[in-house]
Structure formats: C-alpha cells, structure tokens
Amino acid sequence: MEIIHTIDALQEALLAQQKAFPNRSRQLVPTMGALHEGHRELLKHAVAEGPTVATIFVNPLQFGPNEDFDRYPRDLTQDQKVCEEEGVSILFAPHPEEMALSNQQFVLQPNNLIDYMCGPHRPGHFEGVCHVVMRLFQLIQPDEAWFGQKDFQQYRVLEAMVDEFAMPIHMHCVETVREADGLALSSRNRYLNAQERERAVTLFNALEQIKEAVEAKEPAEIIQKKRKQLETQLSDAGFRLEYLDVFNVSTLAPSKTFPDGQPFVVAGAGWVGQTRLIDNLLINV
Ligand code: PAF
C-alpha cells in the first residue's frame, strides 16, 4: 500500500493503478481517520469491488467553531495498519495545504435536504462536507464511492450532489456496524466515559421502539405519543436530544404518516456530556 500526502504523488499512483488494473473499477472510501470496525466494513466492500483508494483528512470546514476539530482523534499509524490489513492500494492523507481550503471561492450549498435532521443544528457542516468530498471526487475520479449509513443525511446530500452535477460515480451506503448492545460505532465513542457510554445506547433503544411501532402500523397519534415519551425518557436519562423523528428517505422531511411501500428513516441526535452522537434505522413499511 502506498501512503501519499501530495496531489502530485497521488496522480502518479492513480496512473500506475489504472495501468495495473485497466479493467477494474476504482473504489473510494473517504474518511476522517480514527478508523473503527464501521470503516473496516466500508473498506471490505470497496476492496471486494476493485482497487481501492482510502482517504484520511480531518476536514476543518465541517466543524463548527465550538465543535471538536482540535480534539478529533488522529492516529495515522493505526489507520495505516487498518488500511493495509483490509487491502487498500492507495492511502491518501493530504497535507492540509493540498486541500486548498484557505481561500475558498465557492460554496456548495445543499438545499432542502438539510432543512431538518442535523442541518439546522450544524450550520455550515454539510457545505463543508460537500466541498471536501467534491475535491476528493475530482482528484481521485472514482467509479464507486462508499459511505456509512450512520451519517445517513450526509449520504443523501452527497448522493444528490453526484446526481445533480452528473458525476459518473456509483454511490454506496453501507449498514451501520454496532456494538453488541446496539450502540452505533463512531470515532467519537472514544470520548465517552463509562457512565456516558451506558447513556449513549439509549438513543438506539429509542430508535428501535419507534421503528417497531411504525412497522407494526400503529396509529399515527400513538406513534407520536410514543415518540414524545421517548424524548422525555432520553432527557431524563441525561441525553440532551436535538431531534428524534421519522423522516422521508428521499426528501428527509419529517413524516407523521407512513403509507405502505414507502421507505422511512427514524433518526436522532443529541449530546451525552461533551459528545455529540447520531444514529438512525431504516424502516420499510
Ligand atoms: O464521514 C466522514 O468521515 C466525513 O464526513 C467525510 C465524508 C470523509 C468528509 O470529510
């Protein structure tokens, strides 16, 4: 595996990759590092499909002024080991100046897909994600790109970007990897102390209960009541909830009715201590 920090070296490595595997499709797994089993799952899927480029870049544009950019975990040596073990062929960990973020002339502004869920709680976040992913897509020109379902809104926004700008990239969303008790794996879980770790799983439990109620076709007003009760239970347990609701998978707008044959996603986000956690479950009615 090659570890590359500059665009010039990246272009050379991509050319060599193209020569070595002329008929195979190039795979991309963009990450911010601190790789865990969820990332391994993305890498496994990608490597099974073709020569894979993984990227590691802690993108300052997608962190708000009071967010955890400075303390976000960084461990290139360990991440390198994970990528090697999973069969990645190129690891691109750009020097910050290679990402040209200091004199940004353009903003990629997502529209209605960020009206709900994390959008209102993280102003500028999705613009920052789009900016960096667009640059990575342009530099690497992947045939396929892999993202985790835990960041479902991010996946939908990027999928819409690829669609709207007619980028020839096949987008994949891979199911969330969880701990035995259901907690979604996240690089931020390492911030949690023992007591917070116990609290963290209450979000998954709440999502499961709402999903079950929707799938059992309980009346809409009962589902709303259950949702409100769960909100109260979560906040009583010390989880500072930002949102907990069921959203239409294509518009990402909240939905109070669940017609047959339409997919929905029940999603939530909030804070345990100083750690922001998100999670979601897909619902097929
Ligand atoms: O999901 C992530 O790790 C990041 O948001 C991404 C897609 C690598 C962009 O910085």
What is residue 128's predicted lDDT score, i.e. its pLDDT? 98
User: The domain containing residue 170 runs over which residues?
Assistant: 2-174
Which residues have any ligand 1 atom within 6 Å of their CB? Answer: 30-32, 59, 62, 129, 132-133, 151, 154
How high is the mean pLDDT of the chain?
Answer: 97
Question: CA–CA distance from 17 to each of 37, 68, 88, 154, 197 (Å)?
Answer: 26, 35, 12, 29, 42
Is residue 112 a part of any domain in this protein? Answer: yes
The span from the CA of 153 to the CA of 5, in Å, is 29
Place of tokens 């007003």: 221
Residues 133 and 10 grouped into a single domain: yes
**209 and 158 in a common domain:** no
Number of Cβ atoms within 10 Å of the Cβ of 240: 12
Q: Do 98 and 158 belong together in one domain?
A: yes
pLDDT at 143 exceeding the cut of 90: yes
Q: Place 196 in a pLDDT band, splitting at 50, 70 and 90.
A: very high
Predicted local distance difference test score (pLDDT) of residue 285: 76
- Catalytic residue list contains 39: yes
Q: How far is the CA of 114 from the centre of ligand 1 (A)?
A: 16
Q: Which of 39, 125, 131, 172 is catalytic?
A: 39
The reply to whether 217 falls in a domain is yes
The reply to whether 149 falls in a domain is yes
Statement: the pTM of the whole predicted model exceeds 0.85: yes
Closest ligand 1 atom to the C-alpha of 32?
3
The residues, ordered by sequence, that sit 6+ positions from 12 with a Cβ below 8 Å of its Cβ are none
Q: Looking at the structure, tell me whether residues 108 and 30 fall in a common domain.
A: yes
Q: What is the Å distance from ligand 1's center to 132 Cα?
A: 8
Answer yes or no: do 72 and 167 share one domain: yes
Assigned domain for 141 exists: yes
Q: Is there a domain that residue 212 lies in?
A: yes
| CATH at residue 212 | 3.30.1300.10
| Total number of domains constituting the chain | 2
Inter-helix orientation angle 220-236/194-215, to 10°: 180
Report the pLDDT value the prediction gives residue 139, as an integer from 0 to 100: 98
Residue 284: which pLDDT band, with cuts at 50, 70 and 90? Answer: confident
266: pLDDT strictly greater than 90 = yes
12 and 109 housed in the same domain: yes
Closest CA relative to residue 54, chosen from 70, 69, 41? 41
121 and 18, same structural domain? yes
